[in-house]
Amino acid sequence: MKILLATVYDYPHPGGLSTHMTTLKAGLEARGHEVDVLSFSDVPKVLQTIKVRGTSFVLNKISKGTGFIWGLKTRKKMLQAMIETKKHRGYDIVNAQDVYATFAAIDAGLPTVSTVHGYTAFEAVSAGSVIENSQEVKYLQEQEIEAFTKTRMVITVDLRIKNYVKKQADVDGFTIRNFINIDDFKPETSQKETLRAKHGIKAGEKVFFVPRRLTKKNGVIYPILALPKVLEKYPDVKLIYAGSGEALDEMKSLVSKNKLDKSVRILGAIPHKQIKEFYALSDVVLVPSIHSSGVEEATSISALEAMGSGIPLIASAVGGLREIVDHGVDGILVEERNIEALSASMIELLDHPEKGEKLAKAARTKIEAQYSHISAAEKYEQIYMQAIEKGLSY
């Protein structure tokens, strides 16, 4: 098949959606399909700035949320125009990765299936892009319903989102949990010391790694709040973040307030290849997600990558994390926002490294069996075929 993956957001960009697309593309291509990607990043930079980002900024200053909505609509028009110029490629199916990419592909006249990664309206509230209970939120929810009902097939990345689609639009979706390239993310213990030296980690230092976009729903402030207790027993601990987002200023303020400047490193957005190096050099990975404005973590790609890399994982017991982590068997789950529980679990894995090794080994076995990009691509392929056949029966 000739397949187009499409999004109105940037690609590549820091975050799970972009990683999902890259990994799905690799899996589909490994199964012999031709796969292209179109995104907002394919729009010339000057047009991105003038027609979308600049205008959205001004409109939001006038009335918060209006610029955000306007920006999404404009991105949709731009993506649709690009899809129409690519129609000669003869795509069998477009897999839209968001609501407005769904509209762009359908309006361009191509058969479309949609992967739903989250909750467009609620996530906009959580990120501060629109005001809770506003007309903009209501509009985004209506747009979600329209996209769910117009696309040929809906694929969701966890069961909660599947239930959400059913509740909102009475549409039955297919759940294919997120996945990783198990050849890229695998235990690299032989590289640990080399990579530590490369990235300035001193001998004897213990590293907690948080590979998270710096946004409220990812709970990124909680490892900082938990760290002082850990440092009382292990003063050489380093807490390293990889990601960017609107929570950065709050995090920096907390680091300064708690005098943690020497113990916390915030790398910003870094290339995915470098992310793999930080998994390999870490002692423990933290995924401290929280509920925020109705948004929960989906099947976290960061958690899957940690598990695939053979690194012990501590995650919050929310959303899709509860679906992929078996507490005490292949990872540790803690109550969200519970600073004491988080610090206690961090200390426990430093006290008992053999427990972490056992959890990590079980996690890698699970990833190989259940979360391979090749097996996921096969499931997507089957849904694409059903969607194509559905179109022929219209």
Spatial CA neighbour of 334 closest among 289, 284, 279, 292: 289
Give pLDDT, residue 394: 47
Mean pLDDT of the chain: 93
- Residue 144 and residue 244 in one domain: no
Residue 228 falls inside a structural domain:
yes
- Residue 354 and residue 205 in one domain: yes
- Residue 378 and residue 363 in one domain: no
**How many domains are there within the chain?**
2
CATH classification of the domain holding 196: 3.40.50.2000
Residue identified by tokens 């053979």 is: 310
Residue 320 falls inside a structural domain:
yes
Residue 126 falls inside a structural domain:
yes
In this structure, which amino acid lies at residue 388? I
Give pLDDT, residue 266: 96
Query: 3-state class of 332 per DSSP?
Result: strand
CA distance 185 to 279: 9
Residue 184 falls inside a structural domain:
no
Residue 11 falls inside a structural domain:
yes
Range among 46-60, 91-105, 171-185, 281-295 rated most confident:
91-105
Give pLDDT, residue 127: 83
- Residue 152 and residue 23 in one domain: yes
- Residue 264 and residue 361 in one domain: yes
Q: Which of 62-66, 79-83, 288-292, 390-394 has the lowest mean pLDDT?
A: 390-394
- Residue 262 and residue 290 in one domain: yes
Residue 375 Cα distances to 28, 31, 76, 324, angstroms: 10, 10, 31, 16
Q: Length of the chain in residues, anyone? A: 394
Residue 393 clears pLDDT 60, i.e. is over it:
no
Q: Starting at the earlier edge strand, list the strands of the sheet with 237-241.
A: 264-266, 237-241, 206-210, 284-287, 313-316, 332-334
Does an H or E element contain 174, and which? strand 174-175
- Residue 52 and residue 89 in one domain: yes
The boundaries of the domain holding residue 72 are 2-179+372-392
Residue 268 Cα distances to 68, 210, 212, 246, angstroms: 24, 11, 10, 12
Give pLDDT, residue 13: 81
- Residue 297 and residue 380 in one domain: no
- Residue 128 and residue 262 in one domain: no
- Residue 243 and residue 161 in one domain: no
Mean pLDDT, residues 367-391: 93
Give pLDDT, residue 352: 97
pLDDT in tens, 308-357: 999 999 999 998 899 899 999 999 999 999 999 999 999 999 999 999 99
Give pLDDT, residue 262: 95
Give pLDDT, residue 300: 86
CA distance 197 to 144: 47
pLDDT in tens, 218-228: 999 999 999 99
Residue 354 falls inside a structural domain:
yes
pTM exceeds cut of 0.85? no
Q: Among residues of the chain, what percentage have pLDDT more than 70? A: 98
- Residue 339 and residue 244 in one domain: yes
Give pLDDT, residue 294: 66
- Residue 206 and residue 349 in one domain: yes
